[in-house]
Amino acid sequence: MKSFSVVHLRDRPVLTEVVVVIDVIRAFTTAAAAFAAGAERIVCVEKLDEAFALRDQRPGAVLMGEEYGQRPEGFDLGNSPIEVAAADLTGAHVIQRTSNGTRGLAAAQQATALLAAAVTNITATARWIAEHHPHSPVTALCTGDTSEDEACAVHLGALLRGSSPDPADLASAVRAAGAEHTAVWRHPTHSKHDGFVADLEACSMVDQYNFAMVGRLLDSTVELRPVRRYAPRREAARQ
């Protein structure tokens, strides 16, 4: 790896050849859950009207995502890894829109290689980069304003440098970031609270999945597909 940097979407950063867009709570944890539930591909869009327009062009496509943390009216699934994991998405074409994660992909469309990541597939992401772009500069683009995305990015950087960061530390960082989210809502009776609390543990499961989520530019959207070559580190250790 030539260089590794961690940047934030809010700063409108200059990006490198390889960009990993990170949204741990909850967009790309949810996307990974959708692939694990059988989705064939996920087309990520920046705006709600784009999502509905694409669904009109592709009858049978599944709309997944959120607006202000809630499932938009007319969407099939929310931005919840637990909800999505319980769905049968075998062979499904999924269209995803979120406030941060899919917007981050839209901002990184000029990258030579573009990936989406959360802690649930972070080692597979690092291994894909090491295999396909070992000498390219890499940018981790954190899309949220709370600390979990940066913790995930730092973990990724350590993996790319050949270190062995402790997955337990990353899981703890994600759980701790939950307090930052709930502080924004101020009260546990907030409509977002119960669903988020249920999802938080799912968001902290480091290396649950053995695939990278690799993006491909399609006009103004980004299509994600799972690349399943690599096993998670904890599975590889048992082999």
Domain with 10 in it: what CATH number? 3.90.1560.10
> pLDDT > 90: what percent of the chain?
80
Q: Which two tokens stand for residue 6?
A: 């961690």
- The reported pLDDT for the residue numbered 226 is 98
Please give the Cα distance from 92 to 207 (Å, whole number): 23
pLDDT in tens, 62-117: 999 999 888 999 999 999 999 999 999 999 999 999 999 999 999 998 899 999 99
CB 101 within 8 A of CB 7: no
pLDDT in tens, 113-148: 999 999 999 999 999 999 999 999 999 999 999 999
pLDDT in tens, 181-214: 777 655 556 556 567 778 999 999 999 999 999 9
Has residue 76 been placed in a domain? Answer: yes
Has residue 46 been placed in a domain? Answer: yes
Has residue 236 been placed in a domain? Answer: no
Has residue 237 been placed in a domain? Answer: no
Please give the Cα distance from 54 to 187 (Å, whole number): 36
* Count of domains for the chain: 1
Element (H, E) at 55: helix 48-57
Please give the Cα distance from 13 to 15 (Å, whole number): 6
Has residue 239 been placed in a domain? Answer: no
Please give the Cα distance from 144 to 121 (Å, whole number): 18
Has residue 206 been placed in a domain? Answer: yes
State the residue range of the domain holding 51: 4-226
